[in-house]
Amino acid sequence: MSAPVMSIAEAVVMAEAELAASDTPRLDAEVLLAHSVQKSRTYLHTWPERALSAEQYTAFRALVERRADGEPVAHLTGSREFWSLPLMVNDTTLIPRPDTEIFIEQALALPLPANARVLDLGTGTGAIALALKSERPDWIIDATDQSAAAVTLAQANARQLELAIRVWQSNWFAAVPATDKYHLIVSNPPYIAADDVHLQQGDVRFEPRSALVADADGLADLQYLVEAARGYLHDGGYLLLEHGWQQGEAVRSLLAENGYQQVHTWRDYGNLDRISQGLYRQPEAAEGGITGHE
């Protein structure tokens, strides 16, 4: 049976109805159709009366059906925009979230040297490291991930965007030279409790559990990073961590208990606690009452 002749506008309306269970059915429909016809969403709005070819319609229908079954749009298209950067995405890493862009805003606002050394732990697609490099070309940025597949993906994104960052495989600091010191360490670690009901909902069902779940009600990796980062930060260096919206107070306590100063939490676009910061001072500096950045 041949595919029906259908215009762009008709295809979007049809898909929007079928994707009604999504939080963003219209957007999903347009992104999937734009991917199917290899055009921009602007093209869809400019030429709504254009008819789809049989091949385009068939490809679009297949994507809509998979999205209706819950697969993330980013996995279906193989890409996701973050900080205006087009990133390749697959099911080996987390899909970059808009709220993580708060990370970039806060990192760029810090009083760091012009040639600051930055370490992104658990880089996934490389989103945070690449966004920072795009804004601060003179920063020296390293990125690690325990997943070999994630390292390959982040390296591919760096090549595609022509942004020079170093990416290698490491379980947190395990393969980071002990002599390396950084002005800023950032991480979006696993922070969801194993019994959290949200693991059975939405896009996270299709993302690697190892990148989502942490012991101790989601705080185990956050606690490790707060403690271990002290050995890799310059005096006056910063630690920035993304965490769950209910974990702000706990993370601030961890930072304070481990001697960090200027402890603060920023809220995301939904007005929920999302990013916490600590300034590390070496014990002798802290005892001398020195504050600020070197």
- Say yes or no: 52 and 95 in one domain: no
- pTM higher than 0.85: no
- Say yes or no: 108 and 216 in one domain: yes
Domain closes at, from 17, 41, 70: 70
Name the amino acid, one letter, at 57: Y
Residue 107: CB atoms within 10 Å = 24
Domain closes at, from 27, 47, 70: 70
Q: For position 211, what pLDDT does the model report?
A: 54
- Say yes or no: 58 and 141 in one domain: no
C-alpha to C-alpha distance for 120 and 188, rounded to whole angstroms: 9
- Say yes or no: 44 and 185 in one domain: no
Domain closes at, from 22, 43, 70: 70
Q: What CATH number has the domain bearing residue 45?
A: 1.10.8.10
- Say yes or no: 64 and 105 in one domain: no
- Say yes or no: 240 and 267 in one domain: yes
Helix (H, G, I), strand (E, B) or coil at 225: helix
- Say yes or no: 106 and 221 in one domain: yes
pLDDT by residue for the chain (294 residues), tens digit each? 455 678 999 999 999 999 988 888 899 999 999 989 988 889 899 998 999 999 999 999 999 999 988 888 888 888 888 999 999 998 888 788 888 898 899 999 999 999 999 999 999 999 999 999 999 999 999 999 999 999 999 999 999 999 999 999 999 999 999 888 999 999 998 766 555 555 455 555 555 555 555 455 667 889 999 999 999 999 999 999 999 888 889 999 999 999 999 999 998 888 888 899 999 988 765 544 333 333
Name the amino acid, one letter, at 180: D
C-alpha to C-alpha distance for 249 and 151, rounded to whole angstroms: 32
Name the amino acid, one letter, at 204: V
Residue 292 within a domain = no
- Say yes or no: 56 and 111 in one domain: no
- Say yes or no: 140 and 65 in one domain: no
C-alpha to C-alpha distance for 110 and 203, rounded to whole angstroms: 32
Decide if 235 contacts 181 (C-beta within 8 A).
Answer: no
Residue 120 within a domain = yes
Query: Among 93, 96, 139, 95, which Cα is nearest to 119's?
Result: 139
Q: Which residues span the domain enclosing 25?
A: 8-70
Residue 95 within a domain = yes
- Say yes or no: 149 and 270 in one domain: yes
- Say yes or no: 112 and 89 in one domain: yes
C-alpha to C-alpha distance for 145 and 123, rounded to whole angstroms: 6
Residue 41 within a domain = yes
Give the total number of structural domains in the chain: 2
Residue 75 within a domain = no
To the nearest 5 percent, what fractions of the chain are helix, strand and coil?
40, 20, 40
Q: Which helix (H) or strand (E) holds 248?
A: helix 248-257
Rounded to 5 degrees, φ, ψ at 172 are 55, -120
Residue 242 within a domain = yes
Rounded to 5 degrees, φ, ψ at 174 are -55, -40
- Say yes or no: 90 and 48 in one domain: no
Residue 293 within a domain = no
Q: What CATH number has the domain bearing residue 118?
A: 3.40.50.150
